Amino acid sequence: MRLTPESVAAERAWIRDRAPVVVPLINETRGVLEELFATEVDRVAAPEYRAEVDAVFADGDRAVNVAAYVGLLRDLDVAGDYPGFVVDEVLGRELAGTIAGGQPLALLAEATFHVADVHTHGETGDAAGADDLDAALAAGFQTRLPGWEWRESPSPFAVEPGHE
């Protein structure tokens, strides 16, 4: 794999074009999380997803890493699949966390990856990493995107400068 500014831009375009698959998975994942945590979460539309893809790729350092994970997962296949179970899970979890950003969102996206992954099944003939790729995109972007009540207001743990 060779990453260049052009190949990173191509991965961005591929991820944006994946909206018809990823956005429904984001919303399905949010539905599962709503039930698990007895809360309501806003649904996401394709334009919101695409705008967030643009935001991720506007940060060049994050963009090159996201592009690398996406490229690896898209091409990853293991004879018999199961022996490769760990590597595609690790790459998927890392991709979700990288998309989400720093802590604590990265950890939330990594955990959410496993929820999304359980509900994602690739088409017959897809590479082993393909369903993990979609689950990682859904988990990472659903974590970044607004719609969670607890993220809509400032943290009660923030300490103002000069506060003694």
Three-class HEC string of the chain = CCCCHHHHHHHHHHHHHCHHHHHHHHHHHHHHHHHHHCCCECCCCHHHHHHHHHHHHHCHHHHHHHHHHHHHHHHCCCCCCHHHHHHHHHHHHHHHHHHHCCCCHHHHHHHHHHHHHHCCCCCCCCCCCHHHHHHHHHHHHHHHCCCEHHHCCCCCCCCCCCCC
Q: Which of 43, 51, 27, 33 is nearest to 108 (CA)?
A: 33
pLDDT score at 84: 60
Name residue 148's beta-bridge partners. Answer: 41
pLDDT score at 63: 97
- 162: exposed, middle or buried (Cβ count in 10 Å: 0-12, 13-18, 19+): exposed
The average pLDDT across 26-40 equals 93
Which segment, 68-72, 113-117, 150-154, 160-164, is predicted with the most confidence on average? 68-72
Question: What's the pLDDT tens digit per position in 83-139?
Answer: 667 788 899 999 999 999 989 999 999 999 989 988 766 554 465 567 789 999 999
Is pLDDT larger for residue 124 or for residue 150?
Answer: 150
In the predicted structure, residue 24 carries a pLDDT above the cut 70: yes
pLDDT score at 1: 86
Question: What's the pLDDT tens digit per position in 36-74?
Answer: 999 999 999 999 999 999 999 999 999 999 999 999 988
pLDDT score at 124: 42
Task: Grade residue 147 by pLDDT with cuts at 50, 70 and 90.
Answer: confident
Is pLDDT larger for residue 30 or for residue 128?
Answer: 30
